[in-house]
């Protein structure tokens, strides 16, 4: 197997795989399984910690003592970064997107503050057009204050971060052997491309044979094919491996962005509520709610009629559900 960069061990791994028995029965097949990456930890829960294990190792190897990253006001990645920083005795600066004059302290944003992160707010327009430049300016400013900063892009979705889900795909392959099962498809919600990129690259190098599907929660299929291709090519710079890659091999289940990133439609909230009551599994409104909603609708449309076993990865996000509580009807 290919040698990948080193990591620090932060997540509770391996995460378990469960069959969603009642959902499978309701749909009449295929068999739907869920990998509980929402259980990688508490403060560090979710998929981002797998990527941070590699990003933070690189930062420490470079002698850095402050991490700068970015995301939405309810960013799971930003919260996980703040938790890792506190755990390791480092410092953090989170660049969060918000167009409100004052944000309600709730969910992940509340935890960011509890964990002691420095926070800088920027508008949606600034975030879209110049978040990397803003983080570079912060890096320069904080360097003058005596810190040695390290920038982690949105979602830790870059070359080094990709190896978090490269490792996860190896973990899935081992669990398949233990369970005596083979997953034809692995499905995730896709928001920045790094999780998909890692799964795809490992699946290809291992010649594993599963199809990797991403349900985009923002932007569109073309954007994510380009973004995932970029992230994978960055990751290849870390390993001595010649991999032929075509964007046509990247499978995006487009059409489930709904109102937009972090904006919920009633049917998405209803689905989250239904699955919680049906299986005791709570999805989040930004990523996994849209991702699983998309998967189930595609199953109903017949896209997966030739599949026997589908694995959906629960990438976390529970804390982001609390600011949406007013959308639920009880």
Give the pLDDT score at 241: 85
**pTM greater than the 0.95 cutoff:** yes
pLDDT higher than threshold 90 for residue 1: no
The fold adopted by the segment(s) 17-46+159-327 is Rossmann fold (3.40.50)
pLDDT higher than threshold 80 for residue 104: yes
HEC per residue, the chain:
CCCCCCCCCCCCCCCCEEECHHHHHHHCCCEEEEEEHHHCCCCCCCCHHHHHHHHHHHHHHCCCCEEEEEEECCCHHHHHHHHHHHHHCCEEEEEEECCCCCCCCCHHHHHHHHCCCEEEEECHHHHHHHHHHHHHHHHHHHHHCCCCEEECCHHHCCCCCCHHHHHHHHHHHHHHHHHCCCCCEEEEEECCCHHHHHHHHHHHHCCCCCEEEEEECCCCHHHHHHHHHHHHHHHHCCCCCCCCCCHHHCEECCCCCCCCCCCCCHHHHHHHHHHHHHHCCCCCCCCHHHHHHHHHHHHHHCCCCCCCEEEEEECCCHHHHHHHHHHCCC
pLDDT higher than threshold 90 for residue 62: yes
Same fold, 17-46+159-327 and 48-156: yes
Give the pLDDT score at 242: 85
Residues noted as catalytic: 75
Given pLDDT bands bounded at 50, 70 and 90, which one contains residue 45? Answer: very high
Residue extents of the structural domains in the chain: 17-46+159-327, 48-156
pLDDT in tens, 115-147: 999 999 999 999 999 999 999 999 999 999 999
Residues 48-156, CATH architecture: 3-Layer(aba) Sandwich (3.40)
């Amino acid at each position: 197997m290919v040698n990948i960069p080193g990591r620090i061990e932060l997540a509770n791994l391996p995460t378990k795989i469960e069959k969603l028995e009642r959902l499978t029965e309701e749909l009449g097949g295929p068999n739907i399984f869920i990998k509980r990456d929402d259980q990688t930890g508490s403060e560090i829960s979710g998929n981002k910690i797998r990527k941070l294990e590699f990003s933070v190792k690189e930062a420490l190897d470079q002698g850095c003592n402050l991490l700068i990253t970015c995301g939405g006001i309810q960013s799971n990645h930003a919260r996980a970064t703040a938790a890792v920083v506190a755990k390791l005795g480092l410092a953090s600066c989170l660049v969060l997107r918000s167009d409100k004059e004052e944000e309600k302290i709730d969910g992940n944003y509340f935890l960011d503050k509890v964990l002691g992160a420095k926070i800088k707010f920027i508008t949606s327009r600034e975030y879209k057009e110049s978040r990397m430049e803003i983080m570079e300016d912060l890096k320069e400013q904080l360097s003058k204050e005596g810190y040695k900063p390290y920038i982690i892009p949105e979602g830790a979705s870059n070359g080094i971060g990709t190896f978090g889900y490269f490792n996860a795909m190896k973990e899935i392959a081992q669990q398949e052997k233990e369970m005596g099962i083979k997953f034809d498809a692995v499905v995730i919600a896709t928001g920045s491309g790094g999780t998909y990129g890692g799964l795809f690259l490992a699946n290809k190098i291992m010649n594993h044979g599963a199809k990797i599907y991403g349900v985009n929660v923002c932007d569109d299929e073309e954007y994510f094919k380009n973004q995932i291709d970029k992230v994978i090519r960055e990751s290849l710079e870390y390993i001595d491996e010649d991999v032929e890659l075509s964007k046509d091999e990247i499978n995006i289940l487009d059409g489930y962005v709904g109102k937009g990133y972090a904006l919920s439609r009633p049917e998405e909230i209803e689905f989250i509520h239904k699955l919680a009551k049906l299986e005791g599994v709570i999805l989040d409104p930004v990523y996994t709610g849209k991702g699983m909603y998309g998967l189930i609708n595609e199953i109903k449309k017949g896209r997966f009629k030739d599949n026997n076993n589908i694995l959906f990865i629960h990438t976390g996000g529970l804390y982001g559900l609390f600011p949406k509580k007013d959308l639920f009807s009880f």
